[in-house]
Amino acid sequence: MLRLNNIEVMYNNVILVLKGVSINIEEGKITTILGANGAGKTTTLKAISGVLRSERGEVTHGTIELAGERIDRMMGHDIVRKGVVQVFEGRRVFANLTCAENLIAGAHVEPSSAAMRQRMDMVFEYFPRIAERRHGRAGYLSGGEQQMLAIGRSLMSNPKVILLDEPSLGLAPLIIEEIFTIISRLNKEQGVTIGLVEQNANLALRISDFAYVMENGSIMMEGPAAQLLDNADIKEFYLGISEHGERKNYRDVKSYRRRKRWLS
């Protein structure tokens, strides 16, 4: 569905953030990208959705293809028309607009008002809490509700692929659980392909089909999510569980061993 071939991304023409990343997001599946802060996960998503340019970033090498068509030279607003929409990290709802207006803005690429209202009803069905507050300013919603609104807003453009950037950021565990359930439902019921970037490895791996691990601007590991959940390194560094099922003190981990494993 969505294929990144060996892409490089540079900011300000000097800072190389992605160093040859190849990712394949399969149709109808949930694909997760894991990684620490600054690994380049968000940049990868922004490269796909075409909003890099507004931050002085550029795909300098490699290609991004959506169903065989190159989209890496397209403007962000055209990529949405192709069916790829990104939900930004930190929610980024239009704070001064009401919830309903946020959804209307999200449906910008949908020319028919009737179809827009239909999609709005669907969003309200998935997120009843947003329906309750449809006439309230989005800026006054709680963090969890804003995340729901952001996901709902992305659904309004009738996307084939939704790219979710850390939907769990700054939210209470219960809300995170709720949001991940809805993501999973959207994937199954609406058939939306989902690209997920997460720090919460445990939760992300449990709902996804395939996963990539990023470090320092390149892919370090990839595989089916179930397999990664079982991987000793993932367990140790992302889930915080050692092979004996105990928590491990990072000071005891010999750094050369870690490095060797990751590079192999």
In the complex, the residues that contact other proteins under the rule CB under 8 A are 49-51, 53-56, 75-77, 80-81, 85-86, 88, 92, 94-97, 101-102, 104-109, 113, 116, 137, 139-140, 143, 153, 157
Per the document, the length of the chain is: 264
Q: Retrieve residue 191's tokens.
A: 């058939």
Q: Which is nearer to other proteins, 109 or 207 (CB)?
A: 109
Q: Retrieve residue 35's tokens.
A: 């990684």
Q: Retrieve residue 160's tokens.
A: 């084939």
Q: How far is the CB of 46 from other proteins (least distance, A)?
A: 9
Q: Which is nearer to other proteins, 48 or 186 (CB)?
A: 48
Q: Retrieve residue 47's tokens.
A: 């490269």
Q: Which is nearer to other proteins, 77 or 259 (CB)?
A: 77
Nearest alpha-carbon partner for 136 in 91, 90, 97: 97
Please give the sequence-ordered ranges of beta strands (E in DSSP) within 105-174, or none if there are none: 161-165
C-alpha–C-alpha distance, residues 227 and 21, integer Å: 21
C-alpha–C-alpha distance, residues 138 and 152, integer Å: 12
Q: How far is the CB of 116 from other proteins (least distance, A)?
A: 8
C-alpha–C-alpha distance, residues 197 and 207, integer Å: 12
Q: Which is nearer to other proteins, 155 or 234 (CB)?
A: 155
Q: Which is nearer to other proteins, 56 or 70 (CB)?
A: 56
Residue type (1 letter), 164: L
Q: How far is the CB of 161 from other proteins (least distance, A)?
A: 13
Q: How far is the CB of 167 from other proteins (least distance, A)?
A: 15
Q: How far is the CB of 56 from other proteins (least distance, A)?
A: 7
